[in-house]
Structure 1
Amino acid sequence: MKILFTVAGTLLICDALLVASVISVNTGVIAAFAVGVVYLLYGLFHEKIRARTGSGSPKVLRISLLVANAAIILAISSVAALGRVDTVSYDEDAVIVLGTAIKGEAVTPALRERLETAVEYHEANPDALVVVSGGQGPGESVTEALAMRRFLVSRGIPESAILMEGRSTSTHENFVLTKSLLDARLGERYSTVFVTNDYHVFRANELSRIAGLDSASLHAATPWYTVPVDYVRESLAVVKLLLLRE
């Protein structure tokens, strides 16, 4: 267990630093770094903790840690599995590309995966309206929606087929504001599918229903080196969803 926590903690810290340097410092980076520090300290000072807390406490502590980690692993595994189950039919009226962080004006690897998936969807269903949804956050020179539109146009999708929603700052707002735009453009009866990375599909499904879209889903891959950070952040976001319904 000592070696396991030491290795896990070291990997989480390194991954958080990598994502911070390549993309940006966000909630997931901070959370993954914090969890990594806790794991690393527990692994390095396991014997001292055991000596100071007496003979009974370490066993309780170890069992608590194992149960907590088993619950986290089960939750993450469930989110990951559900995130790879697509419900897309390829005859939807609109495909919604959910935004995520950009670096300056450049799309980041995770967003690129979403956009490449949207391009593939457009090739299969060119009549669908493509909605790019995402506002401007810290460290971003333009809105995520504008960066996404530029990318899609460079890949051959006509500007006339793209609708921009550039005010949202959360997944909940992505769907609420996009629904307003689509209601005005398509009327009351239309079908949608959203595109996002696999780790994000479970929560996006729920938020789509809350917003009244009840959209189908199509997953994009998650870059391997952002997986730990993304899933730590998503775990916190799922807890927020369960508590606040947003």
Structure 2
Amino acid sequence: MTHAGDALDLRRPSRGARLAAVLWVFVGVVLILDALVVLFVSSMHTGIVATFVVGLLYVLHGLSRHRTRPVTGRARWLRILVPSLTALMLLVFACLAVLGRMDTASPEEDAVVVLGTAVKDGDVTPALRARLDVTVDYAVANPDAVIVVAGGLPPGESVSEALAMERYLVARGVAEHRIVQEGRSTSTFENFVYAKELLDGHFGTEYTTAFVTSDYHVFRAAGIAQAAGVRATHLHADTPWYEVPVDYVRESLAITKFVVTGR
């Protein structure tokens, strides 16, 4: 004879399913907390919002896996869709990380363009500091290179990314006369377009260029440079470990935009 309690047990998730549910919730909470940490050290951007939303989705997905009722309709599709999109996202992350570490620059280019990213309260953020530290090393290895710091005035800030970057480089021993500010741009495409205008005015048409950016950004930046008419080698800066989820989620969205618009 089958008792009611036995029937209820049959509908309970297996131990493996319960562990998977806990893991989804855990990862979701980590992503939510990471988004809040990055918001504290940086300014608000789409990566923070997207990471928070993904984390919340994971929490809800994990909690849904504790359901004892049969899974049908939308819930069943979500159980398929969330893991599938996560696997795809992790594959994109891995490709960006590997390709982003394949530096092609030599210490012989005529100019190096440092691509800007967020500043906070007029100072460089950890991600931008990492790019600038790589630039300092490059400036030592190539003392004749012109350095273009590229980045406009972010919303809510009184100092442009370019000015904050120049101040950081000068404070670390890079001669001010070597640095050219490009302070108009609001996107990576504009970084390259306006930097090219400055370098064309300085060198004419015959010169070589490298750019410095974060590892996750190298792949897309190389494509945008080509679209902007800039033939450039590149150097990567490591992404601060606590910014990896936010920056890679943001870059996945940006790559989608690049595929659609070319910028």
Q: Common fold, TM-score beyond 0.5?
A: yes
For 1:234, the equivalent position in structure 2 comes to 251
- Counterpart Cα distance in 2 of 1:241 and 1:219: 20
For 2:94, the equivalent position in structure 1 comes to 77
Identity over aligned residues, as a percent? 52
For 1:107, the equivalent position in structure 2 comes to 124
**TM-score of the superposition, structure 1-length normalised?**
0.95
**Correspondence for 1:214 among 222, 228, 231:** 231
Query: In structure 2, do the counterparts of structure 1 residues 166 and 37 end up closer, same or farther at CA, with 3 Å as the change threshold?
Result: same
- Counterpart Cα distance in 1 of 2:43 and 2:81: 33
Residue type of the alignment partner of 1:80:
A
For 1:13, the equivalent position in structure 2 comes to 32
For 2:182, the equivalent position in structure 1 comes to 165
Larger radius of gyration: 2
1:51 Cα deviation from its structure 2 partner? 2.5
What stretches of structure 1 of length at least 5 have no aligned partner? Answer: none
What stretches of structure 2 of length at least 5 have no aligned partner? Answer: 1-19
**TM-score of the superposition, structure 2-length normalised?**
0.89
- Counterpart Cα distance in 1 of 2:170 and 2:156: 23
Query: In structure 2, do the counterparts of structure 1 residues 175 and 87 end up closer, same or farther at CA, with 3 Å as the change threshold?
Result: same
- Counterpart Cα distance in 2 of 1:68 and 1:233: 15
Query: In structure 2, do the counterparts of structure 1 residues 182 and 38 end up closer, same or farther at CA, with 3 Å as the change threshold?
Result: same
**Correspondence for 1:51 among 69, 72, 93:** 69
1:208 Cα deviation from its structure 2 partner? 0.6
Q: Give a deviation string over 1:79-136, Cα, whole Å, max 9, x none.
A: 1110000000110000111000001211110010000100000000010000000001
Is 1:123 matched up with 2:173?
no
Is 1:37 matched up with 2:37?
no
Q: Give a deviation string over 1:30-66, Cα, whole Å, max 9, x none.
A: 0000000000111123233x72643x76555433332
**Correspondence for 2:107 among 82, 85, 90:** 90
Q: Residues 83 and 202 of structure 1 are in contact (CA less than 8 Å); yes or no, is this contact kept in structure 2?
A: yes
Number of equivalences: 244
Q: Residues 103 and 139 of structure 1 are in contact (CA less than 8 Å); yes or no, is this contact kept in structure 2?
A: no
- Counterpart Cα distance in 1 of 2:38 and 2:202: 38
- Counterpart Cα distance in 2 of 1:117 and 1:200: 15
- Counterpart Cα distance in 1 of 2:57 and 2:75: 16
- Counterpart Cα distance in 2 of 1:57 and 1:91: 57
For 1:199, the equivalent position in structure 2 comes to 216
Query: Helix, strand or coil: the match of 1:10?
Result: helix
For 2:3, the equivalent position in structure 1 comes to none
Residue type of the alignment partner of 2:119:
I
- Counterpart Cα distance in 2 of 1:97 and 1:163: 10
- Counterpart Cα distance in 2 of 1:95 and 1:147: 17
- Counterpart Cα distance in 1 of 2:36 and 2:81: 28
- Counterpart Cα distance in 2 of 1:84 and 1:175: 21
Query: Helix, strand or coil: the match of 1:193?
Result: strand
Query: Helix, strand or coil: the match of 2:66?
Result: helix
Query: Helix, strand or coil: the match of 1:131?
Result: strand
Query: In structure 2, do the counterparts of structure 1 residues 162 and 68 end up closer, same or farther at CA, with 3 Å as the change threshold?
Result: same
Query: Helix, strand or coil: the match of 2:69?
Result: helix
